[in-house]
Structure 1
Amino acid sequence: MDVRDLEALAVLSEELHFHRAALRLGIAQPALSKRVQRIEAELGTDLFTRGPGGVALTPAGHELLGHARTMLGGWRAMQRAAEQLRAGERGVVRIGAVGSAFYEALPRLLAPVREALPGVTLQVDELETPELVDALRVGEMQLGFVRPPIADGLRVETVWVEQFVAAVPDTSRLSELSAVSVAELAEHPLILFPRSAGIGYWDRVAGLFGDAGIEFEPVRSAAHVTTILGQVALGIGVSIVPASAERVAIPGVAYVPLDRPAPLQLAVASNPGMVPLAARRVLEHLPAVPIER
């Protein structure tokens, strides 16, 4: 018995008439009759009774046709899944992202993707930039959200732009300012993660100090922005963080704009030779023009 047999039984059980069922199936009535007879012979029981006015299901037919519809439904579901896989509308896309991308950028960037591609599972993990770049190169991750620039060989497109802000203890006089300069921040211990954890981000902050003619020497380091904010809350020092970090409500931390615009980019990176179709569909639904916070 194959899927055409299941379709024939299902249609005949709905029409209860060989001629109408044959028309729906697009086959000759004698061919349908022979097909049903063969199926009944294989099963060893009659599924239909024949009469001048049409056919009716036997008690065995009522029970066995339920199994036939279930099997046919499973086959059709498998066909739909295969079509979605071929179109890149189904599957798992492994995504890596730097920690600060989770505050606001990723939820806003990926919401339309999840709506447009409900059959695609987005598996998103936090990775530091060096680990993420390595994972993209070997295919462990298919997409990565990083702070550019990163190493050559990967395709990188900016999708999000936000401003840097100062994170200061809420007991500090800096928290009362409407804007703060890099020179004012330099009067306090500066906390930042090691450069090896995120070269693009670190160099961008270092550039702000360099532009102001101030030597950049963080005195404390932490692995993640949330840890940095925790140290700021303890009064250990100050930091410069993405504006989206304001969504992390840590008691004891105040966020103050910088006195000069200092944009920070977030880009989606991919390895051109290792982007499966589902991942390409995700890229297609990311904004063509970077979102500005």
Structure 2
Amino acid sequence: MQAAPPTPAESYLAHRRPFEVWYWVVSCCLSALGGSYAKWADYQRLGLALDWWKPLTWSWSSALLQLALVPALLWFTRRWPLHLDTWRRNLGWYLPASVAWSVLHVAGMVAFRKMVYLTQGASYKFGDWPAEVLYEYSKDVRTFIGMVLLIHGYRLLVLRLQGEASVLDVLDNGHAVEQVDRPERFLVRTLGREFLIAAADVEWLQSSGNYVNLHLGGRAYPLRSTIAGIEAKLDPARFLRIHRSYIVNLDQIVSIEPLDSGDARVHLKDGQSLPCSRRWRQLLRERVDPVAET
């Protein structure tokens, strides 16, 4: 298959990780700076004295704790995604998650403020805990909902840009139909384009929520399936499960690096390294050239 020149969307997808990290960092900084100025301006308008470091401490403690909790929120939304076919089943998890998120945010924020106040020879008082916690939760739950909607909306956009793969075969008359047994190719639909990728060309697969990402040529194509479901359909002579979240194309393995923990690291031709659990390590050694383990 002749690879088409990358589109702007595909170029973005190839470098989107730094953008995503910087988005959260910049958002945190802007939120903290804006909040600090707003609190300082409120005191100035009321003619009240305020030490310069206090509004900075209040705003930055909140923003930094939100930033620290972003990885947990990303993991949670992957584990319990709100897709059309899953939102009824998963939505109930979001209420306790919002409470846990708020508790962690408030506890970390208060601890941060207390430490800063101590460095200034002062004491920070959070206030009446039941009433203050409810007040903070009323703010946090709105932030939590906004972040969840943003994350799911962004992932939907990325999914549209990436294209979604499906298990298909092509008949002699050119019509694509779903193949229920072992697939020889996958159909990828992305931004109005359709193209086929051979199953044998897939270099490795990774579980991601309700999807399994098919990796080849530096790109990833999400397939709606469980890792166990697609494992059962792939050619066992070519593909092997090496981790609860990874399947590898045996032809792509360059070497196997044993680790002190009993696990291993699998190095591929494209420079990618995949984890191999001890549960599958022995089977992997039996399936590849013994000299591959270094």
TM-score interval for Structure 1 and Structure 2 normalised by the shorter chain: under 0.3
TM-score, reference length from structure 2: 0.24
Structure of greater relative contact order (alpha carbons < 8 Å, 6+ residues apart): 1
TM-score, reference length from structure 1: 0.24
Structure number having the greater helix percentage: 2
Greater Rg, structure 1 or structure 2? Answer: 1
